[in-house]
Amino acid sequence: MPPQQLPLAVQLPDDETFETFHKGSNETALKWLHTLPQKQAPLETSEQLTWLSGPEGVGKSHLLHSLVASSSENNRVFYFPLKELAGVDPDAVLQGAEQASIICLDDVDSVTDNESWCYELFALINRVTDNEYSRLVMTAQQSAVKTNVSLPDLHSRFQWATAFQLQPLTDEDKAQVLSLRAQFRGLELPDDVAAFMIQRLGRSMRELMNTLNELDKASITYQRRLTIPFIKKILSV
C-alpha cells in the first residue's frame, strides 16, 4: 500500500483498516466509506460531506484511519486529529485542505466552541462544496443537529452532510474484534480469554485495544500464549 499524504507528522495505527473493523450494526456506514473514494466528480453536496457520530470507543477514528489506508495513490488525503490540534491556529491547519480528494476531520466537536475554528471550518466547507470533487468526512460524539457550535451558519452547514450514527458493539462483537485484532498481530486469542478480558477489564474498546497491545508485548517477552492465568499475572487482576 503506498503511503498517504498527511498534513502533519501523524502516525496512524497500521492495524486499523476496513478489514479489521467489525461492522456489527454499522454496515451501511462501512459501505458508504468503502465506496466514497471511487465516486466521480462532479459530486453532490451530500456525497462531499459525511458526518459520523457516536460515543467514544465506537470506532469513528478507526473508520477514518481505514479510509486513509484504503485510498489509492491517486487520492491526496489529509487527516486532522482536531482534539490534538485545538490549540493550533486553525488557518495554519486548514488552509488549502480543499485541494485534497479526501479530508478527514476527527473529533470536530472538540473545536466547535471556538469561534476562530468555526469560521475556518465554515470557509473550508464552502471551498469544498464549491470545487465539487473533495470529500470531507467529520466525526463527533453527537449528531450534527445536537452538536454545540458557536457559529450558527456552520451548524447549518454541518447538517448538509450525509449522517451515520454508529452503534456500539455488543459484548459478543467486542470479543470478535479482539480476536480479529490479535490474529492480525499473529496472536491466538481463545474465545474464553476474550470474554474474560471484556468482563474483567471493562467494555471500552479503546482500553481493551490498549490492553491487547500490552499483552502482545508481554507474550513476546515471556514467549507465552494468551491464557487467563497469564493475563491475570501480567495485569495483576
Domain at 230, CATH number: 1.10.8.60
46 and 132 inside one domain:
yes
In terms of Cα–Cα distance, which of 142, 152, 234 is closest to 197? 234
pLDDT number for residue 1: 36
Lowest average pLDDT, out of 50-64, 148-162, 197-211, goes to 197-211
Q: How far apart are CA 209 and CA 181, in angstroms?
A: 8
Q: How far apart are CA 220 and CA 223, in angstroms?
A: 5
Name 136's bridge partners. 49, 103
What would the mean pLDDT of 49-64 be, rounded to a whole number? 94
175 and 160 inside one domain:
no
Residue 91: Cβ within 10 Å count: 12
Does the pLDDT at position 6 exceed 50?
A: no
Does the pLDDT at position 7 exceed 80?
A: no
pLDDT number for residue 106: 98
Answer yes or no: is 6 within a domain.
no
User: How remote is the C-alpha of 105 from its chain's centroid?
Assistant: 9
Burial 6-44 (b: 16+ CB within 10 A, else e): bbeeeebeebbbbebbbebebeebbebbeebbeeeeebe
Domain endpoint, select from 142, 165, 188: 165
Q: How far apart are CA 108 and CA 137, in angstroms?
A: 10
For residue 211, the SS3 value is helix
Answer yes or no: is 221 within a domain.
yes
The radius of gyration computed from the CA coordinates of the chain, to the nearest angstrom, equals 19
Higher model confidence: residue 124 or residue 76? 124
Q: What residue spans of the chain are helical by DSSP H?
A: 27-35, 45-48, 60-70, 82-85, 90-94, 115-131, 152-158, 171-184, 191-201, 205-222, 228-235
pLDDT number for residue 11: 64
In terms of Cα–Cα distance, which of 82, 133, 134, 72 is closest to 106? 82
pLDDT number for residue 121: 98
Q: What is the DSSP string of 2-51?
A: PPPP-SSS----TT-SGGG---TT-HHHHHHHHHGGGPPSSPPHHHHEEE
Does the pLDDT at position 9 exceed 60?
A: no
The mean predicted confidence, pLDDT, of the chain is: 91
pLDDT number for residue 3: 36
For residue 210, the SS3 value is helix
Answer yes or no: is 34 within a domain.
yes
pLDDT number for residue 201: 85
Domain endpoint, select from 150, 165, 180: 165
Lowest average pLDDT, out of 45-49, 67-71, 160-164, goes to 67-71
What would the mean pLDDT of 29-48 be, rounded to a whole number? 95
26 and 115 inside one domain:
yes
Does the pLDDT at position 12 exceed 80?
A: no
Domain endpoint, select from 149, 165, 181: 165
What would the mean pLDDT of 74-103 be, rounded to a whole number? 94
153 and 222 inside one domain:
no
What would the mean pLDDT of 76-82 be, rounded to a whole number? 94
pTM value is: 0.83
Domain that holds residue 128: 18-165
Answer yes or no: is 148 within a domain.
yes
205 and 106 inside one domain:
no
Does the pLDDT at position 135 exceed 60?
A: yes
Position 10 confidence tier, pLDDT thresholds 50, 70, 90 = low
For residue 71, the SS3 value is coil
45 and 148 inside one domain:
yes
| Domains contained in the chain, number | 2
